[in-house]
Amino acid sequence: MKPTLYSAWRASAPYRVRIGLKLKGVDYNYSALDLVHGQQREAAYQAVNGQMLVPTLDLGDGVRLTQSLAILEWLEETHPQPPLLPKDPLDRQRVRTMALIVACDIHPVNNTRIGKKLAEFGIAQDVVVKDWIHTWIREGFDALEPLVAAHGKGFAFGDTPTIADCCLVPQVYNARRFNLDLTPYPAIVGVADGAAAAHPAFQAAHPNKQPDAVPA
């Protein structure tokens, strides 16, 4: 049975999982949630994912996987080819570090629920973008850039895609959505616009290719 991915076209976390599924050649059904109108907080989805966040990967028979990085690790363990982690433990640590800089320290502080709360606090949207979203992306990218420069050879770590790229590419998409100047990050941008942009899996997982994409 094909798994079903609960997703939203522009959201970073399901975008990561789409890249992973495409890289592993796993076919899936696509179920879209309208985050702008809060569909993820309706009872129907809360029954699927108690955290009311995307993604969820529904394997059928009541087995539902959440948390994008835990899904990617599960994919790696159940579908080993092509590998999304190197073999050496220290190299694996590096790749996971890159992924977690995005998945822990950039993305969660900039996501939809946080933006809503800042608006409730009366913080103007332009302040949120320039003094919050940009700040946390920059702090994360400042740490990521030298790691990618040191370890990347086309992709973020070496010359094949890893879970670091699954996280990095959606974060670059997100940074551009909020008009962050990426000039200080040539290694990061080089991955996103180079090897990743040219790879069919990354192309297929792109927000604009999703059924729920809203044309610009």
Q: Which residues bind its own copies (CB under 8 A)?
A: 50-51, 53, 63, 65-67, 69-71, 73-74, 77-78, 89-90, 92-93, 96-97, 99-101, 103-105, 107-109, 113-114, 117-118, 121, 123, 127, 131-132, 135, 139-140, 142-143, 146
Token output for 105: 């320290």
Closest to 207 (Cα-Cα) out of 7, 13, 22, 10: 10
Of 77 and 159, the one with the shorter C-beta distance to its own copies is 77
Q: Least separation, in Å, of the C-beta of 98 and its own copies?
A: 9
**DSSP letters of 101-133?**
IIIIIITGGGSHHHHHHHHHTT--HHHHIIIII
Q: Least separation, in Å, of the C-beta of 140 and its own copies?
A: 7
Token output for 42: 């309706």
Of 123 and 182, the one with the shorter C-beta distance to its own copies is 123
Of 79 and 204, the one with the shorter C-beta distance to its own copies is 79
Of 140 and 161, the one with the shorter C-beta distance to its own copies is 140
Q: Least separation, in Å, of the C-beta of 197 and its own copies?
A: 26
Query: How many residues are recorded in the chain?
Result: 216
Q: Least separation, in Å, of the C-beta of 1 and its own copies?
A: 15
Q: Least separation, in Å, of the C-beta of 77 and its own copies?
A: 4
Token output for 44: 């129907």
> Hey, how many other C-beta atoms are within 10 angstroms of the C-beta on 9?
21
As a whole number of angstroms, the distance between CA 13 and CA 61 comes to 23
Of 73 and 212, the one with the shorter C-beta distance to its own copies is 73
Of 108 and 204, the one with the shorter C-beta distance to its own copies is 108
**DSSP letters of 24-38?**
HT---EEEE--TTTT
> Hey, how many other C-beta atoms are within 10 angstroms of the C-beta on 111?
18
Q: Are 47 and 88 in contact (CB under 8 A)?
A: no
Q: Least separation, in Å, of the C-beta of 143 and its own copies?
A: 4
